[in-house]
Structure 1
Amino acid sequence: MLLFESLISAAWAGRLGLLLGLLFLSAACQSPEVARQELRAGPLPPRPAATVLVPDSLQLTPLAPLAAVPDSLRRTVQVLHKRLGPAAATLRPAVLERACIGYLNLRKAGRVRRAGVLAVADMDLPSSEKRLWVIDLRKAEVLQHSPVAHGRGSGHLRARRFSNTIKSACTALGFYATQDTYEGKHGLSRRLRGLDAGQNDNALRRYVVLHAADYVSRRHLERHGQAGNSRGCPALPPEQYRAIISAVADGSCLLLSGPGLESNWLDGASAAERLAARGWM
């Protein structure tokens, strides 16, 4: 009896071993025909590479020329840009043209009182660069050229979002008139009045002003490779803020330019009439 049970157990063990062996071979091997088919089909396609998140792009947003700008005005702005020299090398002609057209129309409407001075910041440039210019239009000179911060709600290295909303911490695009100065928590500061309805006309209520900030200093830029972010103010480097605030005295014109800028002051025909009649004055 014991011998019979042993024989049965040995038989089942052999069958089990044979079954496991077949399973192993079917998993590890393939028939020659299957191998030939896979060889003809080629190797399996590679798995898609993982998406790499890249930092802020440095590619600027293209600016199409404004429509209906008379050739006389366009040539005058081109000459001005050339005369400004190396200090204006990174000031894009399309941005300068918009700033000049707005300045001329605002002068015509009596919304900016100070003649001959124009400040323009290209907020599409990264904050690592000098992107603010204060220009003497009559002498065709760059009076000041410096970095300037954008709001932390607008982005990190590049400003990508813009808002007029209170507590948004965003930069608001458009034309501004400078106003009086005062001594605040940042020291000497100059108030700004937004001149584009719905775009930046909350500037006074948002306390958007020109002021100094350590996060725009030369040392900060050298250490971090870019300026820090404000709560929406175009903050200035401590090394230059007094000179800049002085250069854009009460009643001066400032443009904060950037992607999606819209303004009722960008009327080329009206600006050309003003330039022909009164020049930059």
Structure 2
Amino acid sequence: MFTSVRFLRSGLLLAVSMVISSFSQGASLDDELLHRMSRAAPELDPLVLESAFNASRCAVFSGVEMPQRLAVIDFSLPSSRERLWIFDLEQGGLVLRDLVAHGKNSGNFESTAFSNVEGSYQSSIGLFRGSESYYGKHGYSLRLDGLEPGINDHARRRAIVIHGADYVNESWVNKYGRIGRSHGCPAVDNQVIERVVDNLKGGQLVFKFYPDQDWLHSSNYLNCGGGAVAVNEAGHGEQG
């Protein structure tokens, strides 16, 4: 009897220690990956990168398929800056950095207003999943599904997609001090649209950041307090 109890306790302690070790190793690997990503993108605010990384990790814990790449858009930067980064999550390297537009009703040089409402012509923030690529009125494009209820989950209904635009390039910055603005889509330079779409389609993650205090404190993905979040698959349109 006592021998059996000792073996049971011993086995339980071994199992617990293995779980703790596994979590510790996982955290260590995450820390190393985040460190490599930070070194690859020294001009990206470390707090923004960490928020994107933690939101992505939380999404995976909540049932989202493990992504291979992560795009980070820092809407706290003016549109004249290259504020889009795409990372390889296997090696932690930087795939691409470039310009990206915000919606015309989100601001002029800088974006300060965001919406989840159809017809607002504003950008939305939070965590998205890159879904299927397609050819539409803007050429080669990528549909986005917003993963955060009340924040961006109407993205597909609003036809918020990644597409190329002739108003997103350095010549616009040189002439106007900013790039052009979209109807809410994160439009990119026509010269890089193919690389952007091909790297983000098929379930990769896109994180759009702005220091909105309500979102920072309420987002399940930023605070990992929410479990699995349903993705809105309704509506297939094009906004611009």
TM over 0.5: yes
Secondary structure, in 3 states, of the residue corresponding to 2:104?
coil
Secondary structure, in 3 states, of the residue corresponding to 1:246?
helix
Aligned length: 201
- Backbone CA RMSD of aligned residues: 2.5
In the superposition, relative to structure 1, how do residues 77 and 92 fare at CA in structure 2: closer, same or farther (>3 Å)?
farther
- Give, in angstroms, the shift of residue 76 of structure 1: 6.4
- Give, in angstroms, the shift of residue 78 of structure 1: 6.3
1:129-148 to 2 correspondences below 5 Å: 129-148=81-100
Secondary structure, in 3 states, of the residue corresponding to 1:204?
coil
CA distance in 1, matches of 2:25, 2:77: 28
- Give, in angstroms, the shift of residue 89 of structure 1: 1.8
Matched, 1:106 2:68: no
In the superposition, relative to structure 1, how do residues 209 and 76 fare at CA in structure 2: closer, same or farther (>3 Å)?
same
TM-score (ref. length: structure 1): 0.65
* Contact 2:124/2:152 (8 A) holds in 1: yes
CA distance in 2, matches of 1:268, 1:198: 16
* Match in the other structure for 2:202: 250
Gaps of 5+ in 1: 1-70, 272-281
* Match in the other structure for 1:264: 220
- Give, in angstroms, the shift of residue 188 of structure 1: 0.5
- Give, in angstroms, the shift of residue 226 of structure 1: 1.4
**1:39-97, Cα deviation, whole Å (9 max, x unpaired):** xxxxxxxxxxxxxxxxxxxxxxxxxxxxxxxx999986665455346651221111111
CA distance in 1, matches of 2:50, 2:31: 8
CA distance in 2, matches of 1:251, 1:149: 22
- Give, in angstroms, the shift of residue 229 of structure 1: 0.6
CA distance in 1, matches of 2:166, 2:119: 22
Please tell me whether Structure 1 or Structure 2 has the larger radius of gyration of its CA atoms: 1
When structure 1 is superposed on structure 2, of 222-231 and 207-216 the one drifting more is 222-231
* Match in the other structure for 1:90: 43
Aligned-partner residue type, residue 133 of structure 2: T
1:43-82 to 2 correspondences below 5 Å: 79-80=32-33, 82=35
- Give, in angstroms, the shift of residue 137 of structure 1: 1.9
Aligned-partner residue type, residue 49 of structure 2: L
* Contact 1:81/1:88 (8 A) holds in 2: no
More strand by share: 2
* Contact 1:221/1:227 (8 A) holds in 2: yes
Gaps of 5+ in 2: 1-23, 228-240
CA distance in 2, matches of 1:78, 1:179: 28
CA distance in 2, matches of 1:270, 1:138: 26
In the superposition, relative to structure 1, how do residues 169 and 75 fare at CA in structure 2: closer, same or farther (>3 Å)?
farther
Secondary structure, in 3 states, of the residue corresponding to 2:131?
strand
* Match in the other structure for 1:188: 140
Which 4+ runs in 1 deviate beyond 6 A?
Answer: 71-78
In the superposition, relative to structure 1, how do residues 114 and 72 fare at CA in structure 2: closer, same or farther (>3 Å)?
closer
CA distance in 2, matches of 1:168, 1:270: 28
CA distance in 1, matches of 2:148, 2:100: 21
CA distance in 2, matches of 1:192, 1:209: 6
